[in-house]
């Protein structure tokens, strides 16, 4: 059910925020906020069903490099509880640079990761080292492992392995 809620939120965020300018982002305990002008999107990292618009925003130095970037798209990753924000920054030289913010709403392992266009992690809320992936500055971002069956493959009333 978490994914269905997140998928609907992503659709709504695309309608509300597309082409808006990024202002700031930050953390307040287990909450993460993204500000696009007067619209602030807040995520409760410990609860994948708690995404809402708010009036408060938090500022973090880690995301200052994105100020003024335009939101190009909002999507999910691997049909899971990971939201990907694609931001396009126009540099003084006229060139563009793409950044991605991944908000992983995966319960106790929730995280927020900022990468460049090559997928290199620039900033991370919580660094960790696991058997499947390493999440720390300077390494390439790998999404959480996909261990779920497609919804169309699920048969109700039968035990699956």
pLDDT at 74 over 90: yes
Average pLDDT value for residue range 58-87: 90
- pLDDT for 154 equals 58
Buried b (16+ CB within 10 A) or exposed e, 56-78: ebbebebbeebeebbbebbebbe
pLDDT value for 160: 54
Mean per-residue pLDDT for 7-17?
92
**pLDDT for residue 24 is more than 60:** yes
* pLDDT of 149 over the 80 cut: no
- Residues facing residue 101 across a β-bridge: 85, 114
d(CA 1, CA 17): 24
CA distances, 102 to each of 95, 112, 125, 159 (Å): 23, 6, 11, 33
Q: How confident is the model at residue 150 (pLDDT cuts 50, 70, 90)?
A: low
Instruction: Answer whether 89's CB lies under 8 Å from 69's CB.
Output: yes
Mean pLDDT value across residues 93-101? 96
Q: Which of 111, 117, 56 is nearest to 81 (CA)?
A: 111
Q: Choose between 86 and 147: higher pLDDT.
A: 86
Kindly state the DSSP code that residue 50 receives in the 8-state scheme: -
């Amino acid at each position: 059910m978490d994914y269905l809620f997140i998928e609907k939120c992503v659709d709504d965020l695309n309608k509300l925020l597309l082409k808006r300018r990024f202002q700031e982002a930050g953390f307040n305990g287990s909450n993460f906020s993204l500000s696009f002008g007067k619209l602030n999107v807040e995520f409760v990292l410990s609860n994948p069903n708690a995404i809402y618009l708010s009036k408060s925003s938090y500022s973090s130095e880690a995301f200052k490099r994105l100020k003024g970037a335009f939101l190009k798209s909002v999507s999910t990753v691997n049909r899971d509880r990971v939201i990907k924000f694609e931001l396009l920054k126009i540099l003084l030289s006229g060139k563009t640079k793409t950044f991605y913010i991944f908000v992983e709403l995966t319960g106790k392992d929730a995280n927020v990761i900022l990468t460049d266009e090559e997928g290199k992690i620039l900033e991370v809320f919580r660094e960790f080292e696991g058997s499947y992936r390493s999440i720390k500055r300077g390494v390439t971002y790998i999404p959480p492992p996909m261990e779920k069956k497609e919804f169309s493959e699920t048969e109700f009333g039968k035990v699956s392995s």
